[in-house]
Structure 1
C-alpha cells in the first residue's frame, strides 16, 4: 500500500482543464489525454483518465481499440449507446453504472442515442464523464457490466458505483479489476452533507452544481480536488444541490 507523506488538497478549476473541441465533441480532460500531454499531470493515484464529454446528436466515437484499462462511464444527460467486440450492447443513461474491462484487447464504439430512440424528438447532446483506472493485472479477459442505481442515488448519500475492494463486495453496484480502487457517486440534495472516504488518495469531481469542501472552500461544477492522505473531509452541497464523483484509492502508480 502506498501512503503519501503529507496531507494536501489540490483544487483544479474547470477552466484550467485541457480542452478538445471538434464539430461533434466537446471534451475537457482532468489529466493528459490524446494530443494534450503534460509529463507532470498524467494521473492521480490509480486514476488515468477523467474526461468530461459532450457529444452531439447522431455522432460519437466510432469503433476503436482499448487494452489493459478499467473504463467506467457515468452519464449526466441524454443517453449513450455502447457496442463492443465481445458482443455486449447497452444504452447508458443517468443513474446507470457501467464498466468495460479492456483487458487483453477490445474494440468498442460509443454514440449519442438521440436519433436511435425516436427520430422525432429534439436533438440533444449526451453529457457524460468517462474514467479509466489501471487494473491489477495485464491481459485479463475483457468484460462488461452495468446496473441501474437511480433509486439508491435518490437517497442523497454516497453510493459505491464500482469497486474491486474486498470490503465493498456486498454493496458495490458493479466490479472493477483493481483491488485498491472504488468509485462513489452522490446526488446531494440542496445543502446536503456527506463525508469523503478515508484513503491515501481521493479524487473528487463536481459533475453538477457546486459544493463546499471542508478546508478547501467552494468547488464549482467541473472543478476537481485531488486529496492526498484524506481523513474523510466533509462536502456540503450548495443551494441547488450537487452531483459528485469520488474515487477512493489505496495505492498509486509509480
Structure 2
C-alpha cells in the first residue's frame, strides 16, 4: 500500500487566470520518473476554476478521461459536437481515441472544483466517444472496458464500512471527509495505491466520499 498525501501533489495551473491544479502524477513540467502511472491511471488532477475561468480548446488522444465534479458546474464542449453541463454526482467520460479537442470552463457564478482522471486504453486509436451518467447511485460501478477498469463511487456515513475491491491494482482517491484504510487515516485529496491487496476494508471516520478504481 502506497499512501500519498494531498500536500505531496504537484501544484500547477495558472492562478493569475483563476486556474489551480493539483497533480497526483507527473504532469507537464512536473516530472518524476517513478511517478508516471499506476495501473491504467496516468493522471488524477484536482482542478479549481474561478467563475469565468477555464481551459480553452485543446487536443487529447489515446486517453480515457473521466471527470467527477466536487462542487460547482463544469461546462464541456468537444469537437464531436457534445456540449453538456456536468454537476456533482455525474460521471463524465470522454474517450479521446484517435483524437478529439475539447473546452472545459466554469461558466457559473460559483467556484468549480472537479477531479479528472486519465486512463491509458488497452489499444490506441479508434473513434472518439462521449458519455455522461447523471446522478450515479452510491456503490454503482462504472465500467471503462477500454482500459480494463471499473470506477466505484462510495458515499459513506461516519462509522460505515466498505470493502475494497480485490484486484491487481486499486487506486483510492478521497474526495471529501476522512476514512481509515488498514489503520491509516486518509483525508481530502489523499490517495492510496494498492497492489495485490486482499480483504481490506475502508471505514469512514467522518461522512466521506470516495472514488476507487479497480483495475485488472
Which category of TM-score, normalised to the shorter sequence, fits these structures?
Answer: over 0.9
Q: Which residue is equivalent to 1:11?
A: 3
Alpha-carbon RMSD: 1.1
Q: Which residue is equivalent to 1:105?
A: 99
- SS across alignment from 1:124: coil
CA distance in 2, matches of 1:99, 1:162: 10
- SS across alignment from 1:104: coil
CA distance in 1, matches of 2:100, 2:190: 31
**Per-residue displacement from partner, 1:150-208 (whole Å, max 9, x unpaired)?**
4x22xxxx2213432xxxxxxxxxxxx22x21111111112211111000111101010
- SS across alignment from 1:48: strand
Of residues 186, 195, 205 in structure 2, which corresponds to 1:219? 186
Deviating beyond 6 angstroms after TM superposition, the runs of 4 or more aligned structure 1 residues are: none
Would you say how many aligned residue pairs link Structure 1 and Structure 2? 214
Of residues 76, 81, 92 in structure 2, which corresponds to 1:87? 81
Q: Which residue is equivalent to 2:42?
A: 48
The CA deviation at 1:222 is 1.2
Contact 2:57 2:103 in 1 (8 A): yes
Of residues 131, 144, 147 in structure 1, which corresponds to 2:133? 147
CA distance in 2, matches of 1:106, 1:146: 17
For residues 89-238 of structure 1, the aligned pairs below 5 Å read: 89-114=83-108, 123-150=109-136, 152-153=137-138, 158-164=139-145, 177-178=146-147, 180-214=148-182, 216-238=183-205
**TM-score by structure 1 length?**
0.82
Can you give the 5+ residue segments of structure 2 that lack an aligned partner in the other structure?
none
Contact 1:78 1:113 in 2 (8 A): no
Change (3 A) 1:149 1:162: farther
CA distance in 2, matches of 1:95, 1:220: 20
The CA deviation at 1:82 is 0.4
Contact 2:88 2:135 in 1 (8 A): no
**TM-score by structure 2 length?**
0.95
CA distance in 2, matches of 1:227, 1:108: 32
